[in-house]
Amino acid sequence: MRLTSLMSLAEALRPFGEDDVARLRADFLLLMKNVERLRSYQEALHFRGAFLTWRTHARETIAHLVAALPDVIAASQEPFKDEAVERWTKEIQVGTWDLISTESPPVESQDVEAAKWRGTGLPPPSPETLYARFVERRSKWADKAKGNARKAWTTLKKYLEWVAGRGGRAAIHPPARAELRIAGIPVTILGDPQELDLFKAGFEHYRKGAARVFPWALQRQLPVVLDFVHHDAAAGRYHGPYITMFPASFSKEEVAHTLAHEMGHHVWKSYLPGAAQTFWAAAVRHDRKPLDLKRVLALWPAGKHNYSLFDLEDYLRIHDPIMFLQVQCLIYGHGPHEGFRFSYDALEDMIARGIKSVPVPANPITAYAEKNPEEAFCDAFGHLVAYGPRSLLPLVRSWVQVVLPSARVERKELPLPSLRG
């Protein structure tokens, strides 16, 4: 079916009543009940994720409730329908705003904290310090969140009573949903599609690349959900039976890389035998070399010591691509580099304390590949499919050929032992 015809049809309204408000409230109160029970940094961080998930759900529910107002009021006995739509749109948005924009719980991941402290020459706070800070602030945060919630529940109850008093029934508009195929891949679209032409070009680029590099991925291609409703820090997510992608790419190659990366997780979990995974993990973990910090400082653009990470990256990207990737591993702090402070002053301080070098990948894939061996494999697979073999260093291509003997990797540099069978 054509996308345009699907997207032009609004899905049926779903009733929304006191039970729905009660469920929202019960889930919120359960979260608030646990605030004082959190006994460690990890528990606080897990709570933060749970609250953000609830807040996103509440925010979307309110948005869908407001979207349904014109249809709900049109079906009611209210004589001044346009005025009523305007009034309740404003009242619901104002009455629930404080709740759905409640600040996140007062605890951050170590990655985020490390990023805040980069360039200061000071170490980021320890997990124990972050937990102590959370304990100090959690009661005040929870009290404010509860106050925001009470205002929202009162507003929603008032709206439900008003609709019922005019012979109507409140409802929500679920997000638009469309099913189609893009480049032969089953796709579900949530919400109003943006940049769909970019996704079409990217999926076609992926199809051609996967057919060239590793046809198995296309033969067992997972369906994809293109989500234009929810927001995620990642461009894609692997869920096992399907993949979710978000509008976070700027080129067809980036779209293709994201899809290939997520399919890489499927290849890793469904195709690679244990021996191949063990080989890959060992290859990645043992491929280390010292990065000379004095050499990095010598290449730093003159006169821009403290605020020139981008200048340094731009210079290295052109003049020393391998060091560029190695430095990115330190800057973005995944895996073994988590919490690393990268600035001119910080490196100078390390050298003054006798630290002349730090271990980095000798044959880097990407900074994100440092997170763990599986992510390293997925990024390597994504680069092969989206950008071709020249996007990986020769040794990395050889590793891929070892674990995927049937893949077309090209430019094999090493004798390749068989790991299957």
Cβ contact 382:268 at 8 Å: no
Residue linked to tokens 């790991």: 419
C-alpha torsion 295→296→297→301, nearest 10:
120
Alpha helix ranges (H) inside 68-126: 69-74, 81-100, 110-117
CA distances to 112, 115, 199 from 230, rounded to whole Å, are 21, 25, 17
**Whole-number Å distance between alpha carbons of 26 and 32:** 10
pLDDT confidence of residue 413: 40
Q: 360: which 2 tokens?
A: 């980095």
Cβ contact 41:134 at 8 Å: yes
Q: 50: which 2 tokens?
A: 């749970």
Cβ contact 383:208 at 8 Å: no
C-alpha torsion 330→331→335→338, nearest 10:
100
Q: What is the pTM of this model?
A: 0.62
Could you tell me which residues come within 8 angstroms of residue 89 by beta carbon, excluding any fewer than 6 positions away? 66, 69
Each residue's pLDDT expressed in tens, for the chain with a length of 421 residues: 223 333 333 345 789 999 999 999 999 999 999 999 999 998 998 899 889 889 888 988 998 899 889 989 998 999 999 999 999 999 999 999 999 989 889 998 776 666 566 556 678 788 899 999 999 999 999 999 999 999 999 999 999 999 999 998 898 877 777 889 999 999 999 877 777 899 999 999 999 999 999 999 999 999 999 988 766 678 898 988 889 898 877 899 999 999 999 999 999 998 998 899 999 999 999 999 998 888 888 887 765 555 456 677 778 888 888 988 888 888 776 666 665 667 777 788 888 888 888 888 999 999 889 888 999 999 999 999 999 999 999 999 999 999 999 999 874 443 434 444 3
Q: 112: which 2 tokens?
A: 């985020």
**Whole-number Å distance between alpha carbons of 88 and 256:** 43
Longest dimension (CA), the chain: 81
pLDDT confidence of residue 44: 92
**Whole-number Å distance between alpha carbons of 182 and 128:** 48
**Where do the domains of the chain lie?**
3-172, 177-270, 274-403
CA distances to 43, 74, 136, 235, 247 from 250, rounded to whole Å, are 36, 41, 42, 11, 9
Q: 357: which 2 tokens?
A: 């070098």
Cβ contact 169:17 at 8 Å: yes
pLDDT confidence of residue 193: 79
**Do strands 224-227 and 185-190 pair parallel, antiparallel, or not at all (unpaired)?**
parallel
Cα Rg for the chain, rounded, in angstroms?
Answer: 26
Which among 282, 196, 305, 211 is positioned nearest to 247, based on CA atoms?
A: 196
**Whole-number Å distance between alpha carbons of 153 and 175:** 23
Cβ contact 242:334 at 8 Å: no
Could you tell me which residues come within 8 angstroms of residue 140 by beta carbon, excluding any fewer than 6 positions away? none
pLDDT confidence of residue 351: 87
**Whole-number Å distance between alpha carbons of 376 and 365:** 7
